[in-house]
Structure 1
Amino acid sequence: MSEPEFSPLHQISEAEDIGRFQLSNPLEIGAVLRQLQSRGDFLTVHFARGQQLLLTRLLQVDVPSRTFCFDWAGQEGLNRALLGSDRNVCVAAPDGVKVQFVIGRPREARVDGKPAFISGFPQDLVKLQRREFFRIETPMASPFLGRLMLAGGQRLQLQLHDLSLGGIGLWASAAEAQLLPRGLHLQEAVIELGSTGSIEVDLEVRSHRVMTTRSGEERFHIGCCFINLTRIGEATVQRLMAQLERERKALTG
């Protein structure tokens, strides 16, 4: 496998109070691993006492046997080093929700005729089921827009799906999503917020996932975080979110 264009995920700080987020039931652990597999989320494996890391994806999850397989890396030296590592910390972040678990030394396996790693389930798994920022979906009838400038002067105009004080979610086609790999920095993006006006901010692409619209169309959701949102911009977003929440409550009663 070639190395994906992706920013590796850091381990959860030891200062975090994670006790209430720990799962130890194998069925619950299997459900989380299966979700990572089905979504195609990236997994960062930290090993060699945190000195090395490998970016991968889950390929198979077998709950009855309490095992799972993950993809072979493009660098053979990394693969061999991981096969000799006794303690490996695995980190993922589906939709910004941090998942972390520790596995022992994996073994080499074959999946669909290709080399892969196989490991037993972890003894426990941490799923930080919280978000730093509340998100709200943006209007569909009169959509907000993100105007992005790519390297080489190429411009993209994408509709917003959601908004928070931490960032935005954008709708994109498969072709547009290819232009926005995880970890990409977008400078001086202009976010048009309807009658509220617009803000200019740098963005970092953090996540990709496939979503189905209300009309049944399959599109990509591109999650981006704000890099340098000003206090004025933050106040603008906060007021707009409060307005959207009031409108939503008025419609739903």
Structure 2
Amino acid sequence: MYPHFQDAELENWHDFEVESRREIFALLRGIGEKNQLIRMLIQGEADVCVTSILEVDDASNIVYLDCSIDQEQNKRILASRRLSFETTLDKVRILFAADQIEATTFEGNPAFKIPFPATLIRLQRREYYRIATPVTNPVRVQIQLPAELGGPTTFPLADISCGGIAILDNKMILGDAIGKNYADCRIDLPEIGQVTTALQVRNSLDLTLLNNKTNRRLGCEFVNIPRGALSAVQRFITRLERERNARIAGLS
């Protein structure tokens, strides 16, 4: 759907397709209000034009865009059967596409207009969405360990992000697990459901508490997590953020 963005850099990003009309409108309006520059790519060509959003007309299903000062480039853009757009908003990459574009005017100046996109992609770096999981009612993950290590074992989570989880291995069951992969790990997300994914342990941190007990925190990355499972993780993170914001508002 977004052919121009299959570059190596995307391996370090996780994509989320936004389908909520209200959310798409808010994102596009924010891009326009902040005068964010947008890369417009013509499908099938290495032709890039920089544009910006002039107006998002929700009632008419139209997004107005600035046009190029290069008239030949404008002709190529209007002749294109598909365009891809890329920009950023608050450190988040936003991608969307259009199957048609027309010449028009906006406030008396030449402009383009495209249909309001039905979906867009929001690409978020992993670390931006890490959020602590509840302590009183911890989220848990079951890791399929070999029989000699006790078989399937459940660990509480310390936090969760769009790229992975941090688990607490206070009984040191996993040992020196950095770099190890664990298949078919099952994470129970309260009110969302269970998701299954492979995990790779990427880092380990031992913390000595005041009572001289040691806590071990293992940072684990999702490996080839199914799209549906990733969407469930995103919904859970959104719910945690909503609850946290409500608590903060209640204390203020």
Sort the TM-score into its range (normalised by shorter chain).
0.3 to 0.5
Larger Rg: 2
Q: TM-score normalized by structure 2? A: 0.45
Q: TM-score normalized by structure 1? A: 0.45
Structure number with the higher strand fraction is: 2
